[in-house]
Amino acid sequence: MKTPPFLYKYQSFTQYSLQSLSENTVWMSSPASFNDPFDCAINLDPKRLHESVAHALEIVTKNAVVDDALKAPSELDEAAYAELRESLRAHMQKIGVLCLSETPEEILMWSHYAEYHKGFCIEFMIDDMCLLGRLAQPVKYTEIYPSLSLKDLPADAEESFIDVCVYTKAKQWSYEREWRALALTGDKLYRAPAPISAIIFGARMPDAHKTEIHQILHLNPGIQFKEAFMLEDVFGLGFRPYLASSAS
C-alpha cells in the first residue's frame, strides 16, 4: 500500500509536546504503555508447538526424512518453546513505535489522544525523500486472532512475526486508520522522521495555547496553522486557517 501524502499525530498540550515541537522530535512509545493490552502482544501459538518442533527439525536436518516419532514435542521442547515465547514478549514490549493516522478528521481520535479536542494535531508531509515515507507501514485490522508458529519468525516469512505482532490490531480499532514506524528502543525521543507541514488546533483548544504553539513554530515558512471547528449539521469537524491576530 502506498504511503499517504500526509500522516497525522494527535497530541495533548503538555510541556513535553511543546518541547518536541521546539526541538523537532517525536516520542516513540513502548507497547507496554499502550491502551490496548492486545497491542503488540500477539505471540507464538502454544497450540502450534508440534508444528514448530517439526519446522525446527526440517531446518536442522536440511529437509531430510525424519522419523515422525522425533517430531513429537518433548518436555524440553515445551520448556524451550515457553522460554522463547517469554523472550519474544519481553522484547516486543521494549521496541519504539510511532503511531500515526491517515486522517485529522476522526472525532474519537481527538477525544482519546488530543485531550478531548483541547489538544492539537501535527500534519507530517510524506515523500520519497523523508525517512517516514520509507518506515511507515499500515496497521491491518481483523476479527480473527492471529496464530503464529516458528516458521513465522523469519522476516521473509509469508506472515512474519514482526508484521503480525506490530501491524495487526482488533477490528474495533479500525476507525484510527493507523500507520506505524518502528525503532529498536521505545520510551525515548527521536528526531522527527518527516517535516511538519501543518498544525491543527483542536475545536476546544484555549486561545492562549494556540498562541503559544504558533509562537514556537511561526518562523518556519513551511508550516500552516489551522483550527478545527464543529460542523453545525453533521457529526463532523471542519478546518479553517488560524489567524494569529484573532488570539490576541
pLDDT in tens, 6-18: 999 999 999 999 9
pLDDT at 96: 97
pLDDT at 63: 57
pLDDT at 183: 95
DSSP annotation of 44 reads: B
Q: Taking CA 123 as the corner, what is the angle to CA 130 and CA 247, rounded to the nearest 5 degrees?
A: 140
CA torsion 14→16→17→18, rounded to 10°?
A: 90
CB neighbours of residue 235 within 10 Å: 7
pTM of model > 0.85: yes
pLDDT at 219: 93
When pLDDT is cut at 50, 70 and 90, the band that residue 72 belongs to is low
- For the chain, give the mean pLDDT: 90
Of the chain, the percentage scoring pLDDT greater than 70 comes to 91
What sign does the dihedral 241-24-204-34 (CA atoms) show? positive
Distance CA 183, CA 192 (A): 12
CB neighbours of residue 91 within 10 Å: 10
User: Which CA distances in Å does 176 have to 72, 116, 141?
Assistant: 43, 15, 10
Assess whether pLDDT exceeds 90 at residue 154. Answer: no
More confident: 46 or 201? 201
Residue pLDDT, tens place only, 156-175: 777 788 889 999 999 999 99
pLDDT at 129: 87
Mean pLDDT of 63-73: 58
Assess whether pLDDT exceeds 60 at residue 67. Answer: no
CA torsion 45→51→57→58, rounded to 10°?
A: -120
Assess whether pLDDT exceeds 80 at residue 57. Answer: no
When pLDDT is cut at 50, 70 and 90, the band that residue 247 belongs to is very low
